[in-house]
Amino acid sequence: MMPDVGACSEDCLFLNVWTPACDNAKRPVMVWVHGGGFTIGSSSQPMYDGAALAKRGDVVVVTFNYRLGIFGYGFFRDVLGANAGRVDSNTGLRDQLAALRWVHANIEAFGGDPENVTLFGESAGAMSVGALLAAPSGKGLFRRAIAQSGAAHHSLSAEHATQVAARFMAGLDATVQHPDALWTATPEALLEAQRACGSEEVALGPAGKRLPQTGVTLMPVVDGDVLPQYPLTAIERGCAADIDLVIGTNAEEWNYFLFLMDPKKRDIDIPALLKVCERRVPGHGAAAVELYRDELGPEAPAWKIFSAVETDKTFWAPAVRLAELQARHNPRTFMYRFDYPSPLFQFQMGACHALEIPFVFGGLATAFGRAFAGEDPAAQPLSDAMLSAWTSFARSGEPGDEVAGAWAPYDSATRRTKRFAEEVTALSDPRPAPRLFWDGLR
């Protein structure tokens, strides 16, 4: 599913820099956080090549690696007793902060401006951006943020993170009294125990609006240190008021997972759909099915309804919530929706998860870009518009320019949203019924 990550090594905490010139031009700096569900991926993947973005946008582009899986997000404070000091919390986020500190200290030598850094990322990378908005130790390290298909919902409470860590330890037959298996286990055993963590059920979302989550359960933790409080709560209180923000999602995010990871779900019928939605949205499954059947039409197959529910639950509703809260404190908050469809599976993939990446990076000619975006000539002007908007935002805090067109800020009254498709347009309060459904969920 993921393109080539290149050579693998325990010595993996590298970063990459692309610059038009090592001069004193003080260009905007764009620091990318790669995705992969906090467990896979690498900044060395060809889809993240920053050459075109740096050259065409006249910016300095930085990508980096950070620790993943149990090494990045295992939370052992409350399951290791006296041994807890041997393992830090949130080491994946700590690596991201270390990369930002390196940029701040060194990027001027590469023609960049350390006082004009934009942090951007996709999926788990965007969720990391959402977490770092709330990290006190990130203050002053970036001025702007772009969150593509991720927001500030995906962080665990210490209680749920402890539950996941306990499952991991059980998979290695490790206990508080006998923790040695943690230090001596083979890579294969570590991975097997890590996979078992995915079957744990945890809760995501702000207090009073939590939803059950399985599958990806290793993620940033509210540890009282790197993250003193739940990110969305901190953002609601204004902790990121000085950060300009662009946030958005793709129209059919979940189709990526449905077609490439969970194809059996494409065979479900309506009774099965009702059951799975009730598990994913307890107490509201039938209402969700009815809402999305009305929106998609009575002929929509069950898999398409399921995908729409998961797209909004995981990506769109959290993005709207973050935009709402940030806009209260910073008027330079902008929202987008990416609607360009992939030709894969006879266009059934739609505007799936990760499809916007080659458009932003100017990478339509890469293997990932060709495979997912196809050869339609209309794709290049759209890529030009997105690359220009992203670099304009990095330069000035305003994503609207003469290439991408005007882009009005987001606010709770108009909910203005930029739509990126074959034709770039502006929307006002798109899809109010699903928005109200997810906002009222308790």
Question: Which residues are catalytic, by number?
Answer: 123, 253, 353
Helix, strand, or coil (residue 272): helix
| Alpha-carbon span 332 to 53, nearest angstrom | 23
Helix, strand, or coil (residue 173): coil
319 phi, psi to nearest 5 deg: -65, -45
| Alpha-carbon span 320 to 254, nearest angstrom | 17
* DSSP class per residue in 16-34: EEE-S-SSS--EEEEEEE-
Beta-strand (E) ranges in 170-315?
202-204, 211-213, 244-250
Alpha-carbon distance values, 353 to 73, 138, 183, 215, 388 (Å): 23, 27, 36, 17, 21
Let me know: does 324 contact 412? Beta carbons within 8 Å: yes
Task: Enumerate residues 6+ apart whose C-beta is below 8 A from 195.
Answer: none
CA 396 to chain centre: 23
Tokens of 11: 């010595």
Beta-strand (E) ranges in 200-265?
202-204, 211-213, 244-250
| Alpha-carbon span 51 to 391, nearest angstrom | 13
| Alpha-carbon span 59 to 391, nearest angstrom | 7
Question: How, if at all, do strands 244-250 and 202-204 pair?
Answer: unpaired
Tokens of 127: 């969720």
Let me know: does 218 contact 124? Beta carbons within 8 Å: no
